[in-house]
Structure 1
Amino acid sequence: MHDVVIVGGGPVGLFLACELGLAGCSVLVLEKEAATDSPWRTEPLGLRGLFGFSIGAFYRRGLLDALVGASFRPGGREPRTGPDEPNRPAAVGHFAGIVLDPALVDLAALPFRLPSPAPESTMISLHAVESLLSGRAAELGVEIRRGTAVDAVRQDADHAVVSAGGADFEARWVVGCDGGRSAVRRLAGFESTGTDPAFTGYTMVGTLADPEKLRPGINPTPTGMYIRMATEGHIGMMDFDGGAFDRSREPDRDHLQEVLRRVSGTDVTVSEVRLASTFTDRAKQATTYRRGRVLLAGDAAHIHSPLGGQGLNTGIGDAVNLGWKLAATVRGHAPDGLLDTYTRERHPIGAQVLDWSRAQVSIMRPDEHARAVQGVVRDLLGTGDGTAYVFQKVSGASIRYDLGGAHPLVGRNAPDFRPGDGECLGELMRDGRGVVLDFSADRRLAGPAAAWRGRLRHVAGAPVDDLGLGAVLVRPDGTVAWADGHGFAVDEFERAACRWFGRPGA
């Protein structure tokens, strides 16, 4: 029997598998697709944006160089990294088709930021991410079985069983990371709530007889929206039909040409279609991310439109949050209720992402009211404050879990503190343990922290910049669990450590 069976071998499932493997858990990953290099996962169709919150997770596990090395670099340009980078993100993206100017964002003006080697964003294919994580998972002893579709999930008080490919796989826990049409979600009886779609979206790769008739980039129009990508023949479209076409039939050349002409307002001709698929802005979320011994993460827990590129990043955030909590539960030193904090912390984040998607769709509708609101939003996003607001939302910089701490840094992603001349915080977390950074001159936390040896690393030293703090307790997912000024009390640290890391010495 495995400790954990993960259903779904995409980036979310594989990142979770690596987190569990790093903690010494026995893990089996079941993936229904046999091939790993389909055109939907490689460049250009498989390209996705990773932003600061997600990139930080790779950095903390020693995977930053591999991630940057595998990233898409148009024209051979290397991503800028390191403490000497300017205080501007390389890109912010768009909101509802409104392209934002990164020059309007001053990173140094945002709260609780320190220099880090991790870039603010990068473009990478799903195939590249999965290859990187598959290799790391194998190093950690994770077993991956491909071409294995799940057809049953059952559980009792002590274990769960996944039936797939004519075999039964027992585990103490099962996690569904199997996408928007999750079999685990359906088979385990999870309920989802949300909103129905407003549009059918299209992605196609083909040949246009007259591509000059389409403007490059993102183009909202009075009848929808189209995107002419940098790769020749790669087109995206949004047709506000209430999602009627999606999954109704295969999008053929005639239908794609009809939609493209309607939303672009041109008589452009589609000569050939090599690949095409549809999607919608259906926005739904599981009411809970846990039912007994079965949990959900990524698109299995929440689905929404791809506007803003939040799907992969939200899924990585789920895996990072769940991994250490499930591992502590498996190993028997989790404090009571630790696993329940996964839903409590991540469900509101998923709900925010769904609303972020809905907000964009609401002002992209082809009607006069939506266009009026979009004009106001466009003006607001042309300001530094407006663009910074979107940047913080998209990058994950605005994420703050409600952990009840008094200090405003508690619940946020930890800045990359560098104690003295030693390693940065991100480098100190490669083994998956929590870290207590002790900036005090008398190293007053050395003794108390020793009680959690194996779960916590104590690092002392005056940092390059302490942001006005005397000590910081960081969970394995990079979240600040406790922070206090130079007059901090040891008993406050001990209460926080017990809350997140269980009884000392257990």
Structure 2
Amino acid sequence: MGKRHASAERPVPVLIVGAGPVGSTLALELAHHGVAGLLVERHGAPSPHPKMDFVNGRSMELFRRLGVADEIRAGGVPAGHSFNFQWFRSFAEPPVDEWTHPSVDEAFAHIARTNDGTAPLEPYQRLPGNVLEELLRRRAGEQPLVELRTSTAFRELTRLPDGTLTATLTDMATGEEYQVQAQYVVGCDGAGSAVRRGTGIAMPTVGPETDHCDVYFRSTDPRLRPYGRYFLGISAGGATLVSRDEKDTWTAFFPELDDTDFERDPIGVLSRRLGTDITVEEVLKVTRWRGRMRVAERYREGRVFLAGDAAHEFYPMGGHGANTGLGDAVDLGWKLAGVLRGWGGPALLESYEAERRPVALFNREMCFNLLEVWQRFPQLAAAGAPPSHLAGYLAQERYQIENTGIHFGYRYSSSPLVLAEQTDTGEAPPTWRWTGITPSTWPGSRAPSVRLPDGTPLLDRLSRGFTLVDFSGKELGRDAARAADKRGIPLDVLAVDDPHTRGVWERSLVLVRPDQHIAWRGETPPADWSEVLDPVSGNMTEGRRP
């Protein structure tokens, strides 16, 4: 793509460094709200290495808002394949236990039977991370408001007296260095983020760091599936097999030991770890990586923000890393758009860290929880625990695979944008369950998914901006639209005449943010809508808290 030089450029509203899934999603979110972005990526093409392989249901709901959910499903593992973990002492003998989870088809069937808010609007989707990266990058590049520059490396940032940022970039094809000015910069450039290093924000590691090897390969050897299909096959020898496409593409990862002869014979090392010799048609890539858990101490330095792996880094178990980052992108995207379009106040951007960093800290601990099982299983087997004991231990941990509550249950309870009801009802906050969704419109929660009488999901009826859902039948929300219009805040009033949905949504008036989280609710309108609209748009430093 052609490069324009600083003398020919006006400052861009947002410079996004890194066009992986998180950076491309941020660009799509900004465009969704009518804001332009410059998306730069040092590599010329998406990585051939899959990296992530699981998009959770909440991320799929957010992608549905952006109009890309169907394309993601079309590029992923077919919906009929279940989501199973098989645990082996050795691939030469039957698994000691299997954790099962419904396929996407089965999950959609459950959603069709369920209309009480306990089901998501979208289930998960398996697909290789490089497929997701290519799809999102292409969709971002097709947006008129997004300029995508690949083979472009970020070097450094300087700040002008007026707060504008100047980024030094390098055209990797020519080696030419040039500068771009931006109002805001977001580092989506991975765990080794150059943007984060430039801010001086620390990212301390919690717990041990371990080195791992990856082998990405193609094989049709039936010994890889000796007892049926699975998503993950975990061997007590220390190797985990990931079925990437349910055909012939695999990734294996395992801890690196001192005696690992990895470069010379990666498949031989893998065979020993699996406990059976396998044949491979093609080795696509071998890599090393360091496993660690860390969350940045801050998500912001002035007009510079961090998102995705630049802000938090987890082990791959549980799919928390990429999905946490996708949530970051949507949260930050609509808030940057609000400020740049003039209706959002300073607390809008201040709320980004207040909302997303606690989610990352919680998900880090949930990842530790599953990682402990991954580490303990081979240790127990090596200690001589009989298969019955291994099976009993793993049976107690089966709840780990049904972690819907982690993906859907986070609540922005400490956010300055989230308001309590004006009248204290004495109601307790909703319970949190690991294995399911507790439907609630408690402020800060994700709005429950319910189908209206005509079959339309209520979440699909929400606008791109704020939506005041009015169940009153008395047009109690009509003054909110006028008040919002005076402030330039995008807000639509959606009247819903359905007692069932009203029961699930709990109040006559529910104000939903652009990211489908609840900003405020009440049985009656406030005496003055500015008491609600100013805080939720970031125009009050201190809003009422739930």
Give me the whole-angstrom Cα distance separating, in 2, the residues matched to 1:370 and 1:347: 38
CA contact (8 A) 2:42 2:151 kept: yes
Q: Is the 8 A contact 1:285 1:351 kept in 2?
A: yes
Q: Which residue of the partner structure matches residue 186 of structure 1?
A: 197
Which has the larger displacement, 458-467 or 50-59?
458-467
Once the two structures are TM-superposed, the CA of residue 48 in structure 1 deviates from its matched residue by 2.4
Relative to structure 1, the CA distance from residue 374 to residue 193 in structure 2 (aligned partners, 3 Å threshold; closer, same or farther) is farther
Contact 1:13 1:319 in 2 (8 A): yes
Contact kept, 8 Å, 2:299 with 2:353, in 1: the verdict is yes
Q: 1:55 to 1:491 in 2, by over 3 A?
A: farther
- Among 457, 460, 479, the alignment partner of 1:447 is 479
5+ residue gaps, structure 1: 80-89
- Supply the distance in 2 between the matched residues of 1:23 and 1:335 (Cα, whole angstroms): 16
Given that residues 475 and 495 in structure 2 are in contact (C-alpha distance below 8 angstroms), is that contact kept between their aligned partners in structure 1?
Answer: yes
CA distance in 2: counterparts of 1:91 and 1:405, whole angstroms: 41
Aligned equivalents of 2:480, 2:221: Cα separation in 1: 71
Of 226, 246, 257, the match for 2:240: 226
Alpha-carbon deviations, 1:71-93, whole Å to 9, x = none?
A: 3243xx5x7xxxxxxxxxx8565
Corresponding residue number in structure 1 for 2:408: 397
Corresponding residue number in structure 2 for 1:146:
150
SS of 2:344 mapped into structure 1: coil
How many angstroms does 1:203 deviate by?
Answer: 2.8
- The reply to whether residue 164 of structure 1 matches residue 157 of structure 2 is no
Residue 499 of structure 1 corresponds to which residue in structure 2? Answer: 535
**What is the distance in 2 between the residues matched to 1:421 and 1:52?**
23
Q: CA deviation at 1:271?
A: 7.7
Other-structure match for 1:427: 460
The residue aligned with 1:465 is 501
Alignment pair present for 1:482 and 2:485: no
TM-score (norm 2): 0.75
Distance change in 2, residues 1:427/1:108 (3 Å): closer
Indicate if the aligned counterparts of 2:211 and 2:288 stay in contact, CA closer than 8 A: no
Aligned counterparts of 2:86 and 2:184: Cα–Cα separation in 1? 38
Contact 1:8 1:177 in 2 (8 A): yes
> For 1:159 and 1:114, how far apart are their aligned partners in 2?
45
Cα distance, 1:346 vs. partner? Answer: 0.6
Unpaired segments of 5 or more residues in structure 2?
1-10, 89-96, 171-176, 422-428, 431-440, 541-546
Which letter does structure 1 place at the counterpart of 2:477? L
Equivalent position of 2:468 in the other structure: 436
Counting matched residue pairs gives: 470
Tell me, yes or no, if structure 1 residue 60 matches structure 2 residue 96: no
The equivalent of 1:84 in structure 2 is none
**Identity across aligned pairs (percent)?**
27
2:127 corresponding residue in structure 1: 124
Query: How is 1:5-404 mapped onto 2 (pairs within 5 angstroms)?
Result: 5-36=15-46, 38-40=47-49, 45=50, 48-68=53-73, 70-74=74-78, 99-102=98-101, 113=117, 118-125=121-128, 126-128=130-132, 130-132=134-136, 134-136=138-140, 138-156=142-160, 158-165=163-170, 166-195=177-206, 196-206=208-218, 211=223, 217=230, 218-227=232-241, 229=243, 230-232=246-248, 234-239=250-255, 241=257, 251-254=262-265, 256-268=266-278, 273-365=283-375, 366-368=378-380, 378-382=394-398, 386=399, 390-393=403-406, 396-402=407-413, 403=418
Matched to 1:441, the amino acid is G
Deviates more, 1:207-216 or 1:175-184: 207-216
Q: Secondary structure at the match of 1:354?
A: helix
What letter is aligned with 1:101?
A: T
State the alpha-carbon separation in 2 of the partners of residues 313 and 294 from structure 1: 22
Distance in structure 2 (CA, Å) of the matches to 1:73 and 1:399: 27
Q: Are the equivalent residues in 2 in contact too, given 1:203–1:277 (CA < 8 A)?
A: yes
User: What is the distance in 1 between the residues matched to 2:168 and 2:355?
Assistant: 30
In 1, are the aligned partners of 2:52 and 2:322 still within 8 Å (CA)? no
Structure 1 residue aligned with 2:447? 414
Aligned pair in 2 of structure 1 residues 241, 330: CA closer, same or farther (>3 Å)?
A: farther
- Aligned in 2, Cα 1:182/1:93: closer, same or farther, shift over 3 Å? farther
Change (3 A) 1:351 1:124: same
